[in-house]
């Protein structure tokens, strides 16, 4: 087994791994599934994966991989649905014929009027729309980090309630093994199960030892846990959360957190721009 690499991948060097990841996944996959496959294909080290992009909650690899998907979509090799699932346009794509320089050239030439030139090839050009997306992400993440611990716990409580949980209570007791709250998750109005949750408001990565500590605090109290952080989770932490024979722990990282707040409209306002077009054909029929 080869050692994991510490070389940081550029966005264009992940074109082929992204296509390969989707092929492995059967032609389609979520952002998270694609990320996991690309990490395995490139055999990236934890040191590389834990580097964050600027002051955001997103890792540098995730950020560049997002641009890889954007370029592949604009080039016509992949597409995505409104439900966050990416898929290959064709199942017969030959990765050996993919020319990453050609993809970069074609995409940039086709959108010169809409993009801003980046300083280096390592950072792709960003459309005005994407810059706005990054801007609100950064603003929201910075705001989350500025909340005091009790306010962040109350935010988690509101998030769970808006997501369908009931009897959500913030405990926040010192010496409670990191348990910040409890709640009941309802499934289709019939099934329900108790969960314990922990909130970590910081910019670093949650380690596997922290997941084990949380599970230890859950012992004998519930069979399900939820760990929410503004940061990220190491690969070992993700594996530990779903380890066979141990109570499962669901994970929500900073990127998923800001997206969920956006979906629920919690602290995020979405303004739709009205587009009006005159139908000349309608008048011609009068």
Domains of the chain by range and CATH?
12-137 (1.10.10), 147-264 (3.40.1350.10)
pLDDT at 104 over 90: yes
Residue 82 CB burial class (10 angstroms; 0-12, 13-18, ≥19) = exposed
pLDDT at residue number 227: 96
Percentage of the chain exceeding pLDDT 70: 84
Share of the chain above pLDDT 90, in %: 38
Mean pLDDT of 57-78: 90
pLDDT band at residue 39 using 50, 70 and 90 as cut-offs: very high
pLDDT, greater one: 28 or 124: 28
What is the spatial distance between Cα 50 and Cα 82, in angstroms, rounded to a whole number? 28
Q: What is the pTM of this model?
A: 0.64
Residue linked to tokens 């998907």: 69
Q: Whole-angstrom Cα distance, residue 41 to residue 20?
A: 8
More confident residue, 54 or 213: 213
- According to the model, what pLDDT value does residue 128 have? 39
Residue 263 — very low, low, confident or very high, per pLDDT cuts 50/70/90?
confident
pLDDT for 110-153, tens place per residue? 865 444 344 344 444 444 344 455 577 778 888 898 898 888 99
Task: Note whether 180 and 171 are within 8 A (CB).
Answer: yes
The CA distance from 22 to 30, in Å, is 9
Q: Which DSSP state fits 246?
A: S
Instruction: For residue 34, give every residue at least 6 positions away whose Cβ sits within 8 Å of its Cβ, in sequence order, or none.
Output: 18, 21, 22, 25, 65, 69, 86
Cα separations in angstroms, 32 against 35, 39, 169, 230 = 5, 11, 30, 17
- SS3 of 185-233: the string is EEECCCEEEEEEEEEECCCCEECHHHHHHHHHHHCCCCCCEEEEECCEE
Rg (CA), the chain: 22
């Amino acid at each position: 087994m080869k050692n994991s690499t510490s070389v940081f991948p550029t966005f264009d060097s992940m074109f082929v791994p992204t296509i390969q990841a989707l092929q492995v996944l059967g032609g389609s996959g979520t952002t998270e599934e694609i990320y996991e496959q690309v990490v395995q294909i490139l055999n990236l080290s934890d040191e590389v994966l834990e580097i964050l992009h600027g002051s955001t909650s997103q890792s540098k690899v995730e950020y560049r991989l997002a641009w890889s998907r954007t370029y592949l979509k604009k080039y016509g090799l992949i597409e995505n649905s409104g439900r966050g699932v990416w898929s290959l346009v064709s199942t017969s794509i030959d990765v050996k014929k993919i020319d990453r320089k050609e993809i970069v050239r074609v995409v940039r030439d086709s959108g010169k009027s809409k993009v801003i030139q980046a300083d280096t090839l390592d950072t792709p050009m960003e459309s005005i729309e994407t810059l706005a997306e990054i801007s609100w992400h950064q603003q929201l993440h910075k705001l989350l980090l500025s909340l005091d611990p009790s306010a962040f716990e109350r935010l988690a409580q509101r998030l769970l309630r808006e997501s369908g949980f009931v009897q959500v209570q913030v405990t926040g007791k010192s010496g409670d093994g990191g348990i910040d709250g409890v709640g009941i998750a309802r499934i289709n109005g019939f099934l329900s199960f108790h969960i314990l949750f922990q909130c970590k408001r910081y910019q670093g990565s949650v380690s596997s030892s922290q997941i084990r500590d949380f599970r230890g605090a859950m012992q004998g109290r519930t069979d399900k846990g939820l760990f929410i952080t503004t940061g990220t989770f190491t690969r070992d932490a993700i594996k530990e959360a779903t380890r066979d024979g141990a109570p499962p722990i669901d994970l929500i990282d900073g990127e998923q957190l800001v997206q969920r707040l956006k979906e629920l409209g919690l602290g995020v306002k979405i303004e739709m721009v009205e587009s009006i077009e005159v139908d000349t054909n309608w008048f011609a029929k009068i």
